[in-house]
Amino acid sequence: MTLSLIHALRVLRLSQSFILEAEQAHEQSVNGLTRGLEIQGRVFSSSCVESLSVHQIVFLLSFKGPRLRPSEPAEEKDMRKVLLGAVLMLVILLILALVVGRFGLMPINADGAHSSLEARIMPQVLHASIVRHAATATNPLAISEENLKAGASTYKDMCARCHSTPGHNPSAYGQSFYPPAPQLSGGMPNYTDSQLFWTIKHGIRNTGMPAWGSMLSDDEIWQLVSLLKNSQDLPPSVESEWQATKNRPAR
Ligand code: HEC
């Protein structure tokens, strides 16, 4: 059919470039392609070109169909769709947040059960922020019995009522916060000295953890850091000072 089609087009005295395009169109259709082909600005399916007779081809080529718009690259179109979707999503989320806040749908009680999603995500957010904000300073104080004792004394006065002391039951007071105050035991391996210092000095917003920088000197905070970091290996005199803490038991 290819030869007879091209011969027929020649006979019909069509221009050389026109014939060339028909040849290419036909070649592609013979290769089994089924995507659309553009012939002089009109679109035909290549499988359809293959099954056409000469007369039909000539008719189609002379048909004044809609010319193709200069086509936009497919990637740009996809990109625009993705962007539009993202903006729409943001607007919906904003409206949702406004509705939830404005109509009092957000629970604010501190004695509610901690949602498992919150309990999983928030500690990671907290840790990441502390890591980012804390400087990389090292503890300037010597790990002496004197400093550890001073740390234990400050801890008893300022921290134990919420965080309890390792080896004691959790404090009922500390457990009534949302999130609850954790027990600071095990040498706090998740934090470096300076990260612990930063957390104690600056506190944790929207929780019960105060910013101790306005109540304790830097040295007192470093003494607390020394105590917490060495809590598993304390001299007996410091251990007994620390363990003398009494917490009110839960009801
Ligand atoms: C009034 C209660 C309260 C007091 C007093 C308090 N904290 Fe806290 N602290 C909290 C709460 C609640 C959290 C949990 C915050 C969170 O998880 O987002 C916390 C968290 C912390 C953390 C982070 C623990 C972790 O695992 O991420 C450290 C470190 C800490 N406190 C140290 C101290 C020290 C040291 C003192 C004493 C100088 C102290 N806190 C006094 C309530 C308290």
* pLDDT tens-digit profile, the chain (251 residues): 444 555 544 544 445 555 566 566 556 555 544 444 455 455 555 555 555 565 565 555 555 544 445 566 788 889 999 999 999 999 999 999 999 999 999 888 998 887 888 889 999 999 999 999 998 889 999 999 999 999 999 999 999 999 999 888 999 999 999 999 999 988 999 999 999 999 999 999 999 999 999 999 999 999 999 999 999 999 999 998 888 766 655 55
**Residue 9: CB atoms within 10 Å:** 20
Dihedral pair phi/psi, residue 23, rounded to 5°: -60, -50
**Residue 229: CB atoms within 10 Å:** 19
Helix ranges, the chain (H): 2-11, 16-30, 46-50, 54-62, 74-102, 116-133, 145-158, 160-163, 172-175, 193-202, 218-229, 236-243
> What is the number of the ligand 1 atom nearest to the C-alpha of 188?
26
Cα-Cα-Cα-Cα dihedral of 188, 194, 196, 198, to 10°? -170
Q: Cβ distance 197 to 223 under 8 Å?
A: no
Which pLDDT score is estimated for 99?
95
- Of all protein residues, the one whose alpha carbon is nearest to atom 34 of ligand 1 is 159
- Of all protein residues, the one whose alpha carbon is nearest to atom 32 of ligand 1 is 200
Angle at 184 between CA 206 and CA 122, to 5 degrees: 40
Which pLDDT score is estimated for 34?
43
In this structure, is the dihedral angle defined by the CA atoms of residues 98, 101, 107 and 110, taken in order, positive or negative? positive
**Distance from the CA of 86 to the center of ligand 1, in angstroms?**
38
**Distance from the CA of 173 to the center of ligand 1, in angstroms?**
12
- Of all protein residues, the one whose alpha carbon is nearest to atom 31 of ligand 1 is 209
Classified by CATH at the fold level, domain 116-243 comes out as: Cytochrome Bc1 Complex; Chain D, domain 2 (1.10.760)
Rounded CA-CA distance 104/51 in Å is 68
Rounded CA-CA distance 2/27 in Å is 8
Pocket of ligand 1 (CB under 6 A): 126, 158-159, 161-163, 174, 177, 179, 181-182, 184, 196, 199-200, 204, 207-209, 212, 224
| Phi-psi sector, 9: left (phi>0), alpha (psi -120 to 50), beta | alpha
**Distance from the CA of 145 to the center of ligand 1, in angstroms?**
24
Which pTM does this prediction carry? 0.70
Of the residues 120, 163, 197, which should be mutated to test ligand 1's pocket, given the most ligand atoms within 8 Å of the CB?
163
Of the residues 178, 196, 209, 212, which should be mutated to test ligand 1's pocket, given the most ligand atoms within 8 Å of the CB?
209
Which pLDDT score is estimated for 166?
84
Rounded CA-CA distance 242/236 in Å is 10
User: Which amino acid, 50?
Assistant: E
Residue ranges matching CATH 1.10.760.10 in the chain: 116-243
